[in-house]
Amino acid sequence: MRVDVVSIFPEYLAPLELSLIGKARGLGILELQVHDLRTWTNDVHRTVDDTPYGGGPGMVMRPEPWGRALDQVATPESTLIVPTPAGEPFTQRVAHELADLPHLIFAPGRYEGIDQRVLDHAATRMNVREVSLGDYVLFGGEVAVLVIVEAITRLLPGVLGNADSLVEESHTGGLLEAPMYTKPAVWREQPVPEILRSGDHGRIARWRRAQAVLRTAERRPDLLAAADLDKRDLDVLNE
Ligand code: 6GU
């Protein structure tokens, strides 16, 4: 997969060199380039923003540098991703959809966002998706790019081992994960739940499933409504 990121803070994207994302790049699974939006400014001050039409606080990113950047970076296969709190929620489902695409261009805005005409014009030549990390406000979209690229990279073939990728979502069925433990068996007077040390894989699987169901009911009842629960799960909830 190819990824281009255009930002006024390219240094903010430095973590994309690290860890498993860096490794995916080294393997050629992910071809990622970060660009400085100011490359596409023409004035001595390299201006990227101006006051909003209609008034209001803050500044809006001017369309010209973005237009020139996209003219240069886009291909017939590109999808433009614009991180914004006004976007559709970024979910694991969206991550899977994006991981199947050949070329993503990220346009993280700063200030009050990017002139809408940039998105409207881009939409005449490529798919455009505005995505949000959640219901809170960040200074800009750069951190969202880090999050989205990480979520996508771990879905690319060859990044995770096969065993890991099979576990992906299939056995959790839309529930939160059960708590996990490792050695030592007792730590600060707290024993690991006995059942996990029993070696009875059937009982362990049922215990983990019950923990997942209870946790999800407690923390994310919205997910529970969409999860496919069997009779045993419902009994756990009614205990
Ligand atoms: Cl994608 N961008 C910004 N600026 N704030 C956000 C966000 C994105 N998602 C949640 N808050």
User: Which ipTM did the prediction report?
Assistant: 0.95
Distance CA 223, CA 198 (A): 30
20 and 59 belong to one structural domain: yes
* 64 Cα–ligand 1 center, Å: 23
70 pLDDT above the threshold of 70: yes
With contact defined as beta carbons under 8 Å apart, do 110 and 6 qualify?
no
Q: What is the CATH number of the domain that holds 184?
A: 1.10.1270.20
Give the single-character DSSP code of 113.
-
Beta bridge mates, 31? 2
158 and 176 belong to one structural domain: no
Distance CA 21, CA 153 (A): 7
- Segment among 33-42, 77-86, 159-168, 228-237 with least mean pLDDT: 159-168
136 and 37 belong to one structural domain: yes
* 200 Cα–ligand 1 center, Å: 45
Domain boundary among 125, 142, 163: 163
133 and 205 belong to one structural domain: no
Ligand 1 atom nearest the C-alpha of 140 is 4
29 and 137 belong to one structural domain: yes
Q: What is the pLDDT of residues 19-39, one digit of tens each?
A: 999 999 999 999 999 999 999
Residues contacting residue 171 through CB under 8 Å, at least 6 positions apart: none
Domain boundary among 163, 182, 203: 163
Q: What is the pLDDT of residues 113-129, one digit of tens each?
A: 999 999 999 999 999 99
* Token pair of 43 as six digits: 């004035």
229 and 209 belong to one structural domain: yes
152 and 227 belong to one structural domain: no
Of 26, 21, 34, 33, which Cα lies nearest the Cα of 156?
21
- Is 133 annotated for ligand binding? yes
Distance CA 28, CA 34 (A): 16
Ligand 1 contacts CB of residue 137 (under 6 A)? yes
75 and 159 belong to one structural domain: yes
128 and 150 belong to one structural domain: yes
Ligand 1 contacts CB of residue 144 (under 6 A)? yes
Ligand 1 contacts CB of residue 204 (under 6 A)? no
Would you state the pLDDT for residue 14? 97
pLDDT tier for residue 168 given thresholds of 50, 70 and 90: low
Q: Annotate 170-193 with DSSP letters as a single string.
A: TTTTTSPPPP---S-SEETTEEPP
Q: What is the CATH number of the domain that holds 43?
A: 3.40.1280.10
Q: Which helix (H) or strand (E) holds 60?
A: strand 60-61
Distance CA 51, CA 89 (A): 28
Q: What is the mean pLDDT of residues 200-216?
A: 98
171 pLDDT above the threshold of 90: no
Domain that holds residue 225: 171-238
Domain boundary among 102, 136, 163: 163
Q: Which helix (H) or strand (E) holds 80?
A: strand 78-89
List Cα–Cα distances, 66 to 5, 19, 42, 60, in angstroms: 12, 30, 12, 12
Ligand 1 atom nearest the C-alpha of 138 is 5
137 and 220 belong to one structural domain: no
pLDDT tier for residue 172 given thresholds of 50, 70 and 90: low
Ligand 1 contacts CB of residue 129 (under 6 A)? no
Range 24-61 burial, b when 16+ CB lie within 10 A, else e: bbeeeebebebbebeebbeeeeeebbeeeeeeeeeebb
Number of domains in the chain: 2
* Token pair of 26 as six digits: 């080294």
49 pLDDT above the threshold of 60: yes
130 and 189 belong to one structural domain: no
Q: pTM for the whole thing?
A: 0.94
